[in-house]
Chain A
């Protein structure tokens, strides 16, 4: 009896010819909790079904019960790798609703913080793409510089990761000398580190063969799926919210938008690398602009809006109006006008939108977060159709899926 006769199965005995593999909510490849049920034909993926919601924390419902300044802590936990961007986005939304105008220095400080957050987000994504393709060293190396970014956050707001940074109307305190020294150290040392990180991966043959051609998407399909951010720019569309709908004085800065061509993992990696270089450029311009400010303009760190921004304690103890404003702000009884506003900011993953409907009460009537991760994860089955299983893993990590933002 030959081996083939022994192995061959009678015709039609097994109905299903594909294997179901559960890349379950806990898996080393899923950085965050989302599930992928993949149908495999050997090593090739026939179809994939995604399940999300394993970390649904009901942000939108909680936000209906919190005064406006308490929602900042909720927004931290959306895309927690770059939480200052979420915080600033929320403050900008409320300031748009209230009609507050901010001084330039506040805008430039916000720009520095948001670009640092973008660098820290892209560092995690790129180094994790490296880890998933087997290169652990890059991750360990750049985490040192993320620690330095965390120290800068600590000097400004006290916390490393979920920063709750800034207030409606500006910052809670001026940047200290220690913060400026750490920022200067970062600006001096980081470019060399980024160059070295690039050298490890960009022309590395193994990395290129792993990532080129993995999970490509055309620009039309990407737009139809609602992609934004680096994933869309890798597909060839140069849509960046900082340029299209500038906020926080981004129009004063000069920077380029890197764009890819095929939208595969290699393009996404390169787009994020280049965005980090552009972020460094923006930080240097903002730093120089702030250092050039002189006199009273150089000391301002918040808008002059005592109804919404806590007045200084000396005034609270001596003046009646300041006392009333302090009381009203702390109790959450400030006059918020009714209205609806939608404000997009460029988060680490794309257009993070805040849709706020206020009815004049102390809490929002409805707050909806337009979360880029949630919207582009639905394209995953199209991205991995016909790909090998290991490509699917690389695609998942190169999309920069952050579970907190996906489920909110």
Chain B
């Protein structure tokens, strides 16, 4: 295993020495140093980590976002995972932004890998990367008008007519609120009972012959 002379404490000290109080929330969940920077400074921090001869974080492992609908003003977090291949240390940088104005400077000048990763983040969360050469949707259809991975949007597609929502515990049963479909497909297939309910009259027979095909 490559040498690990660089440690999390040293990285933290160097970062605080350079940027001071602007960096916050230093933590080490499961051994990975994590910290937060204000969104205007994300490129400065990344550039410092790239250029510094001791820190050498020159590999962008991952770039993604998380949506926290509960935190007002800090709903979207863009998370960068960096890796120093020579000393074998990883780092996680988080940049928070509000959902009304999710503008973050792009990292494509520094890391070409960020190009598609930022497009994917834009596609899923709507984070606008300022300065990106080609910020358009990458995985979803181009006509989609919402950002699907935000917490307020459901997983399933809403215009589906073949799946029976009531049976799967989603949506409302037809009798409860008038908003559901008029009858579930299961009910449509059962023979209907006459409304008056006179005794002796059985349920109306479905004309099953209309469903069979006549061979010509």
Q: Count A interface residues, CB 8 Å.
A: 43
Q: How large is the interface on B (under 10, 10 to 19, 20 to 34, 35 or more residues)?
A: 35 or more
Q: Which residue from chain A places its CB closest to the CB of B2 in the assembled complex?
A: A244
- The answer to whether A239 and B115 have CB atoms under 8 Å apart is no
Which residues from chain B contact A339 at a C-beta distance below 8 Å?
A: 29-30
Chain B 47-75: CB-based contact to A (< 8 A → 1; otherwise 0)? 00000000000111110101100000000
Min CB distance B78 to A, Å, is 12
Chain B 96-113: CB-based contact to A (< 8 A → 1; otherwise 0)? 000000000000000111
Which residues from chain A contact B88 at a C-beta distance below 8 Å?
A: 244-245
Q: Known interface pairs A53-B140, A224-B113, A342-B92. Does A61 touch B29 (Cβ–Cβ under 8 Å)?
A: no
Chain B 1-31: CB-based contact to A (< 8 A → 1; otherwise 0)? 1100000000000000000000000000110
Which residues from chain A contact B62 at a C-beta distance below 8 Å?
A: 342, 353, 355, 368, 370
Min CB distance B135 to A, Å, is 14
> Of the candidates B34, B79, B113, B155, which one forms a contact with A375 in the assembled complex, judged by CB atoms under 8 Å apart?
B113
Whether a CB of chain B sits under 8 angstroms from the CB of A340 is yes
Whether a CB of chain B sits under 8 angstroms from the CB of A407 is yes
Q: Which residue from chain B places its CB closest to the CB of A375 in the assembled complex?
A: B113
Most buried by A among B61, B66, B92: B61
- The answer to whether A341 and B30 have CB atoms under 8 Å apart is yes
Whether a CB of chain B sits under 8 angstroms from the CB of A60 is yes
Which residues from chain A contact B92 at a C-beta distance below 8 Å?
A: 342
Q: Known interface pairs A223-B58, A226-B60, A374-B120. Does A53 touch B138 (Cβ–Cβ under 8 Å)?
A: yes
Whether a CB of chain A sits under 8 angstroms from the CB of B181 is no
Q: How far is the CA of A363 from the CA of B85 in the complex (A)?
A: 33
Which residues from chain A contact B138 at a C-beta distance below 8 Å?
A: 52-53
- The answer to whether A226 and B155 have CB atoms under 8 Å apart is no
Chain A 219-253: CB-based contact to B (< 8 A → 1; otherwise 0)? 00101111000000000010100011110000100
Whether a CB of chain A sits under 8 angstroms from the CB of B122 is no
- The answer to whether B111 and A357 have CB atoms under 8 Å apart is no
Which residues from chain A contact B115 at a C-beta distance below 8 Å?
A: 378
- The answer to whether B58 and A375 have CB atoms under 8 Å apart is no
- The answer to whether B149 and A61 have CB atoms under 8 Å apart is yes
- The answer to whether A341 and B59 have CB atoms under 8 Å apart is no
Chain B 144-185: CB-based contact to A (< 8 A → 1; otherwise 0)? 000011000001000000000000000000000000000000
- The answer to whether A378 and B113 have CB atoms under 8 Å apart is yes
Enumerate A47-102 residues with CB–CB distance to B below 8 Å: 52-53, 56, 58, 60-62, 64-65, 96-97
Which residues from chain B contact A135 at a C-beta distance below 8 Å?
A: none
Q: Known interface pairs A355-B81, A378-B116, A407-B139. Does A368 touch B155 (Cβ–Cβ under 8 Å)?
A: no
Q: Known interface pairs A61-B155, A374-B120, A375-B113. Does A226 touch B1 (Cβ–Cβ under 8 Å)?
A: no
Min CB distance A35 to B, Å, is 12
Whether a CB of chain A sits under 8 angstroms from the CB of B130 is no
Q: How far is the CA of A60 from the CA of B66 in the complex (A)?
A: 11
Min CB distance A183 to B, Å, is 29
- The answer to whether B61 and A353 have CB atoms under 8 Å apart is yes
- The answer to whether A378 and B81 have CB atoms under 8 Å apart is no
Whether a CB of chain B sits under 8 angstroms from the CB of A379 is yes
Q: How far is the CA of A62 from the CA of B140 in the complex (A)?
A: 15
Whether a CB of chain B sits under 8 angstroms from the CB of A351 is yes
> Of the candidates A96, A226, A368, which one forms a contact with B113 in the assembled complex, judged by CB atoms under 8 Å apart?
A226
- The answer to whether A65 and B155 have CB atoms under 8 Å apart is yes
Which residues from chain B contact A243 at a C-beta distance below 8 Å?
A: 1
Q: How far is the CA of A53 from the CA of B1 in the complex (A)?
A: 37
Min CB distance A329 to B, Å, is 21
Which residues from chain A contact B117 at a C-beta distance below 8 Å?
A: 226, 375
Whether a CB of chain A sits under 8 angstroms from the CB of B90 is yes
Q: How far is the CA of A60 from the CA of B137 in the complex (A)?
A: 16
Which residues from chain A contact B148 at a C-beta distance below 8 Å?
A: 58, 61
Which residues from chain A contact B85 at a C-beta distance below 8 Å?
A: 223, 237, 239, 244
- The answer to whether B81 and A374 have CB atoms under 8 Å apart is no
- The answer to whether A52 and B81 have CB atoms under 8 Å apart is no
Enumerate A326-347 residues with CB–CB distance to B below 8 Å: 339-342, 344
Min CB distance B216 to A, Å, is 37
- The answer to whether B90 and A342 have CB atoms under 8 Å apart is yes
- The answer to whether A226 and B140 have CB atoms under 8 Å apart is no
Which residues from chain B contact A239 at a C-beta distance below 8 Å?
A: 85
Q: How far is the CA of A221 from the CA of B88 in the complex (A)?
A: 20
Q: Which residue from chain A places its CB closest to the CB of B90 in the assembled complex?
A: A342
- The answer to whether B61 and A351 have CB atoms under 8 Å apart is yes
Q: How far is the CA of A97 from the CA of B61 in the complex (A)?
A: 20
Whether a CB of chain B sits under 8 angstroms from the CB of A366 is yes
Enumerate B115-146 residues with CB–CB distance to A below 8 Å: 115-117, 120, 124, 137-141
- The answer to whether A355 and B140 have CB atoms under 8 Å apart is no
Q: How far is the CA of A88 from the CA of B115 in the complex (A)?
A: 29
> Of the candidates A58, A245, A344, which one forms a contact with B155 in the assembled complex, judged by CB atoms under 8 Å apart?
A58
Q: How far is the CA of A355 from the CA of B120 in the complex (A)?
A: 15
Q: Known interface pairs A65-B155, A243-B1, A355-B79. Does A375 touch B111 (Cβ–Cβ under 8 Å)?
A: no
Q: How far is the CA of A391 from the CA of B116 in the complex (A)?
A: 24
Most buried by A among B113, B124, B141, B148: B113
Which residues from chain B contact A251 at a C-beta distance below 8 Å?
A: 1
Enumerate A152-206 residues with CB–CB distance to B below 8 Å: none
A-B contact pairs, 14 of them (CB 8 A): A53-B137, A60-B149, A65-B155, A221-B112, A224-B112, A225-B112, A226-B112, A243-B1, A342-B81, A342-B92, A351-B61, A355-B64, A379-B112, A407-B139
Beyond A226-B60, A226-B113, A245-B88, 8 additional pairs, beta carbon < 8 A:
A97-B30, A223-B58, A224-B111, A224-B113, A225-B113, A244-B2, A355-B62, A377-B116
Closest A-B pairs by Cβ, 7 of them: A226-B113, A53-B139, A56-B139, A370-B62, A368-B64, A378-B116, A366-B66
